């Protein structure tokens, strides 16, 4: 392998490692923020003179509980996005380690073959009595034999030099591959440890939200659902009244239709963080699998989908496009037309159809642009 190829491989491995490190930095920061951040969109605290619990603390209204639960799920969603990105990069790193391992095995095989060729040349010289080719050439009195031998001598010397140079290059490549594989393996182990720590933070936030909801009476849980739906409907109505749909009248592309068909076929399946199907999904797992089935590979997380896919204006949106929600791009749904989208909402909910404007829209991306 040429030195420039080795440098390119090293640069590629370094770029992948840097991307993974950045993802894990985001993941660690998110986990740290999750541990201390207050619930997103928290409702105002009750008046000091409001109802109190038996221990004297102010009693939370059902709206307070709803805002707290939503905040916990938002925090878990942000950490999930970072975890999924780190997981995707770890898979790429594992593939790089496998490639390096194959290169090491291939390099060893080639070195063994070169050594065999060098040994064969040495044995041939031994069988000729150990007389150097140059000496035999000088001793001949046949002009034609002299010329033929001179040509073979030049060719043989060049072949020997080339053989030794190739052997040296292969040995250097093998050393580089071995060092790279060891480094990548150590990094992968560190990243797996960090991922497990992040997984614990996500599970803790989801458990806290589920615990809050489990404390409610059946009637209160029903009202909680109604409050959630009312808030989503309020946002959807405001979005529609803004005139957002006036210019949205475009048809889906053939791939977009296929993606929609897949996504809507998953309606009723549960949200599970980190899931990519076929029995459950998280929000970006659903959109990635839908577009993958349609023949277009897209990034794994909503944040990477927002960062890497072509963006279009909301007024130019067409069915099949992905709507990215919240300022931190931690939720995604697929627009299906008529002001609606299909998405996997959060833990405890199933894949469903909802209003495209029922959450704060960050922007729109188009996988097949």
Active site residues: 283, 331, 343
Report the distance separating Cα 325 and Cα 304, nearest Å.
Answer: 13
* 306 to 34, 81, 157, 160, 325: CA distances (angstroms): 22, 12, 60, 57, 10
Say which residue the tokens 């894990």 belong to: 24
Report the chain's terminal Cα–Cα distance, integer Å: 38
Strand partners, 331: 325
β-pairing verdict for 322-325 and 311-312: unpaired
Contact (CB, 8 A) for 322 and 331? no
Please spell the DSSP secondary structure of 27-66, one letter per residue: HHHHHHHHHHPPPTTPPPPPPTTS-B-TTSPBPPPHHHHH
Q: Where are the beta strands (DSSP E) in the chain?
A: 311-312, 322-325, 331-337, 340-343, 352-355, 361-365
Report the distance separating Cα 181 and Cα 83, nearest Å.
Answer: 24
Report the distance separating Cα 291 and Cα 262, nearest Å.
Answer: 8
Tell which residue, 286, 281, 324, 279, has the closest CA to residue 304. Answer: 324
Residue 255's contacts (CB-CB under 8 Å, 6 or more residues apart) are 291, 294, 295, 296, 320, 367, 368
Q: What is the DSSP letter of 340?
A: E
Count helices and strands (H / E) in the chain: 8, 6
Report the distance separating Cα 277 and Cα 275, nearest Å.
Answer: 6
Burial class from Cβ neighbours inside 10 Å (0-12, 13-18, 19+) for residue 130 reads exposed
Q: What is the CA radius of gyration of the chain?
A: 32
């Amino acid at each position: 392998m040429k030195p420039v190829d080795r440098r390119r491989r090293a640069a590629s491995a370094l770029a992948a490692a840097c991307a993974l490190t950045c993802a894990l930095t985001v993941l660690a920061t998110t986990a740290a923020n999750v541990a201390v951040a207050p619930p997103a969109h928290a409702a105002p605290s009750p008046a000091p003179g409001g109802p109190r619990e038996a221990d004297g603390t102010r009693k939370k209204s059902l709206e307070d509980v709803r805002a707290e639960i939503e905040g916990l799920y938002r925090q878990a969603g942000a950490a999930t996005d970072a975890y999924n990105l780190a997981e995707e990069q770890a898979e790429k790193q594992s593939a790089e380690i496998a490639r390096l391992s194959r290169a090491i095995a291939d390099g060893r095989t080639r070195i063994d073959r070169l050594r065999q060729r060098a040994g064969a040349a040495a044995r041939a010289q031994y069988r000729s009595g150990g007389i150097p080719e140059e000496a035999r050439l000088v001793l001949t009195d046949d002009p034609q034999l002299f010329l033929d031998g001179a040509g073979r001598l030049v060719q043989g010397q060049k072949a020997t030099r080339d053989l030794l140079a190739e052997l040296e290059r292969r040995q250097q490549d093998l050393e580089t591959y071995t060092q790279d594989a060891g480094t990548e393996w150590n990094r992968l182990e560190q990243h797996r440890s960090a991922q497990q720590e992040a997984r614990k933070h996500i599970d803790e936030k989801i458990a806290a939200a589920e615990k809050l909801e489990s404390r409610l009476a059946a009637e209160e849980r029903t009202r909680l659902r109604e409050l959630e739906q009312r808030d989503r409907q309020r946002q959807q109505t405001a979005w529609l009244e803004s005139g957002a749909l006036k210019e949205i009248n475009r048809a889906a592309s053939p791939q977009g239709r296929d993606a929609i068909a897949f996504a809507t076929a998953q309606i009723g399946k549960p949200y599970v963080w980190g899931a990519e199907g076929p029995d459950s999904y998280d929000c970006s797992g659903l959109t990635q699998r839908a577009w993958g089935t349609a023949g277009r590979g897209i990034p794994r997380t909503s944040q990477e989908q927002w960062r890497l896919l072509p963006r279009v204006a909301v007024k130019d949106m067409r069915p099949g496009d992905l709507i990215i929600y919240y300022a931190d791009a931690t939720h995604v749904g697929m627009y299906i037309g008529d002001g609606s989208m299909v998405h996997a909402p959060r833990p405890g909910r199933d894949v469903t159809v909802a209003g495209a404007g029922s959450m704060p829209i960050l922007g729109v991306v188009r996988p097949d642009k």
